[in-house]
Structure 1
Amino acid sequence: MTVTFESLPVELIAEILGELDLESLIKASYLSRRLLTITSDSSLNPWRRPILRNLRSATYEDCLRHLSVRQTVPRQNWIEILSLARPSFILFDATLPNLKTADWEECFNRRFLPGWKKWKKDGVSWREAFIKLLHRVWHRSQTSCTADESWTKYVVLNRNGSANELEVSSRTFNPVAIFNDMKLQSNLAHLETRIRLVVTLADVRILAFGTLNRPRSTLMVNPNAHIFLHPPGIEADENDTNPRMQKTDHPVTDHGVYPMSELTYQVTSHSYTRLTHPLPADSHFDYPWFTSGGSDKRWLGSGAEEEEGLCWVGGLMVVTQIVGPKSYERSGDWPPLQDLDLVLGPGRQQYASFTWNDLNAIAPWMEERITKRINGPGLGI
């Protein structure tokens, strides 16, 4: 008995079709009625992998623009496209499909930070809110306009366990200058500003500003800064294809260079899940676990120590930076994707608000570790 391609099990056919490029898959879907049925089946969905390969590449295939007009492509694939594709492609090139309200809401929650829901007004559809906000982000990535957001918020994790949500006029928002003032007030002006890339999303990336030192006293150590960047129980290993997690059934008590009293501070075990709302970019696909490839630089040291055996001292400032096509161009001789490379150069001057809701989404393990949340400056007394 002769075995033909179409006589194979439908799951195997869909798996093979998923290895084709998008243009070839479109042609293959019309070769026979059986292939048309298989490619149209939302449970088999051979389109997902070719679409994701396009979204992860610098150049999209031309056929991706009008994929929505083809009835063989399940609508669920557009949730991936609208969540990850470049803003300019969605706004100016793609023919958008007719999706359900729930699908547009899912796209909104996958693409944008939770704090950005404030732009969704009552009576406005999720589709309209998504398109308007995406256009606002694209516009801000191309210009220095701040008319739509007069005040930019950011969060500071203090060394005493509390945290402040602060705001500055968007016209004068300069995180480097703001953090220099913070260092001056904390008598840390002599220390170099260290900037870490926490996670990259579709349109923004979360940056953390802090200082590293070998303090003589543990009073200057900021344990929350360390835990924010290095979730307890998670380790980094470039040699592993999957992130390596140390699973424990008991509290994590080995704090290394961050000793803390059990009476005042206790780190409990936490069940981590991969971040999906919002959805990280491919460079941080496994966040909060370590993502190999060179872009995840939260772990520059080993274990509880940072590079050169230093530890975080003073406050840690967390901000949201809007990224554009030029944000990843090398702007100097400093190491890529860390410190000054993240804030100096083209495509690195626009910022958006980072709020409590965003902190809860990006680092949910911090909720039980922040002792007091303060809106505005001060100690919250």
Structure 2
Amino acid sequence: MTFPPLQVAIPRVGREVERRALANGIILYLAEDHSLPVLDVTVVIRAGSLYETPARPGVAQFTASQLRNGGTTRLPAAALNEELEVLGASLEASVSTEAISLTLNALAKDADQALQLFAEVIRHSAFDPNPLQTTKGRVIEDLRRLADSPSQLLAREFTRKLYTEAHPLGRPLTPAQVEAVQPDDLRAHYRRFFHPNNMLLAIVGDFSREEMAAKIQALLGDWPPDPVDLPPVPEVRPHFERAVYIIPKSLAQASLALGHFGINRFNPDRYAIELMDFILGGSGFSSRIMERVRSEEGLAYSVGTNFPTGSRDLSLFRATAQTKNENVPRAVAAILEEMSRIQRQPVSQEELDRAKEAIINSFVFRFTSRFGTVVQLLTLEFNGYPLDYFETLLDRYRAITVADIQRVATQYLRPD
């Protein structure tokens, strides 16, 4: 039984989604959604951990956490929280290597009050030192507990060893560095990066586009732009060498990771690599490595691979497994053999078709939420992709051949 190719309706900028550029540089994405009487807003500022000064690691993380917790120049944290609770609104911040994001959810009828609070937090954060101390204590405790989690400890040390201290990704945060962070450090990070010409804003909900655009203009339009000094990020210098690192722990089971440098998000081979990784070890029980290491040899319950393709800098390919201590050599050998086999022998057309079908079918679930879809469109611009990227994405996967899989496996996997 055969079915026609999957067709996915993706909201398009300029059709269901409107993109506007305010005079002060804010990029605004607007989409009406009258299915529920709610309002969803997110702002993305290029101010993530990659842009911290080497002398103050952790500043981006704490700047994000204190946007709400530290109050504003008009409202102390307790008063801000009370106003949000009265509205039944949520206001949450997050941080990544590249960005600080702030997301608001409120009832559409409360849009004016909720947006006013949202704008205050973005424009007039105060960074009260008392909530900062509480947050620092929680982070320090989390760092101390990390040593008790083999998987988290393994991930941290694997990343640290490959990126090294020459790159921000190779410098994990320490309790002493957390203790050193002060409110003035957060204010300096905030003043450096929080400018209208360094942010993208998405709003989806039960409203009229023109009316919402007017509200944003009134709240943020008079915010003057300012030059943004994005510091240069050290270039990742990949190196490939055999090495074994052991973290001694008195455990009956070992957690292991093996891998090497990968690619960044602008590599045109990323689509073939994703399919290759799916076949090799990224698809759970149907993958080659799972079948070999777990099903055939019974060496591990958990095993798989991950070859990220969406990062700004070179990613890290890794194969991970949990197995009995005495089985580590056999598990490693089996993983390396499967990496070599996918280089030597072409995958079957059936394997490739199954991988394509799984990835293409999963695409449908990326666009079930109107707000999530608009945020993805905004993220395309943030990441430097063309705005019509999603409209041609599935065809890029469909075009991959068996020969492409063998070519990228040979070029990008390093079992030696």
TM-score past 0.5 threshold: no
TM tier relative to shorter chain: under 0.3
TM-score (normalizing by structure 1): 0.27
In terms of fraction of residues, the more helix-rich structure is 2
